[in-house]
Amino acid sequence: MQIGILGSGLMGGKLGTLFARAGHEVVFSYARHRKKLEDLAREAGPKARAGTPHEAARGAEVLLLAVHWSKIDTVLEQAGDLSDKVVMSCSLPMNEDDTELVIAHTSSGAEHLAKKVPKARIVSAFNTVPSEVLFGVFERRPKPRPHLVYCGDDAPAKRTAGKLIAELGFDPIDAGPLRLARYTEPFALLVARLAYEGESGPELAYRFEHFAKG
Ligand SMILES: NC(=O)c1ccc[n+]([C@@H]2O[C@H](COP(=O)([O-])OP(=O)(O)OC[C@H]3O[C@@H](n4cnc5c(N)ncnc54)[C@H](OP(=O)(O)O)[C@@H]3O)[C@@H](O)[C@H]2O)c1
């Protein structure tokens, strides 16, 4: 698959690198310096290159949106037409200083995004784990695999996202329609809290278990 990365920071840089290592063609875009995108592409290997958001979106079947919430409009405008594209968003609707969600409870960042780009096929994914755990899960393939929740309204788009989540070493958990991002986005803040304020370091992922009798 051709995957365009819109926002090549902690999340986009790492996820794009891992998608390239998993065999996909990746275009890194949207950083403040072109050199950063070129360095990322060089380190990610021959399947990766640097480009503009427009170049990342053109020809891509899948896009990863990984920018701060305040940059969503800018990057979408630069990306251009996203009709029919699978847009996996890990962006959380945080305020400027990243202390709280600016959309919650009665809506979610993912639903807002879907309204901004109604022709794109939005899947909320990869936002419930810290970037620090991604390489470890990909490289070490822990058993059992950590879960990773995702949600969306477009079934084929969700199948694509689920496949990519599995390729990165996680066990994908389909949480349901996009409105479930109202639950997954605050959950992401809990995971971040445990990762960054806990005592065991940020390489944190999670796994739900059933404890039914018998
Ligand atoms: N970090 C995590 O562990 C984590 C986990 C779950 C969800 N999220 C969410 O994922 C999204 C991305 O987070 P992140 O931690 O990856 O953010 P980040 O490291 O700050 O990356 C954002 C990217 O946007 C680029 N950018 C920012 N301002 C720009 C500008 N004016 N012009 C061009 N490029 C610009 C940055 O460029 P530079 O590279 O030049 O800085 C960077 O490549 C956020 O919505 C966050 O809430 C993050």
Q: What is the pLDDT of residue 214?
A: 78
| Smallest CA separation from ligand 1 atom 26, residue | 31
The predicted-structure confidence for 17-70, as pLDDT tens digits, reads as follows: 999 999 999 999 999 999 999 999 999 999 999 999 999 999 999 999 999 999
What residue spans of 84-176 are helical by DSSP H?
109-116, 134-140, 155-167
What residue spans of the chain are helical by DSSP H?
10-21, 34-44, 53-57, 72-79, 109-116, 134-140, 155-167, 181-197
Tell me the C-alpha distance between 214 and 212, whole Å. 7
Cis peptide before 53 (omega within 30 of 0): no
Assign 194 a pLDDT band (cuts: 50, 70, 90): very high
Q: What is the pLDDT of residue 198?
A: 87
Measured from the Cα of 12, ligand 1's closest atom is 16
Q: What is the pLDDT of residue 169?
A: 98
The predicted-structure confidence for 69-124, as pLDDT tens digits, reads as follows: 999 999 999 999 999 999 999 999 999 999 999 999 999 999 999 999 999 999 99
Measured from the Cα of 128, ligand 1's closest atom is 6
Say how many Å lie between the CA of residue 8 and the centre of ligand 1. Answer: 7
Say how many Å lie between the CA of residue 10 and the centre of ligand 1. Answer: 6
Whether the predicted model's global pTM rises above the 0.95 cut: yes
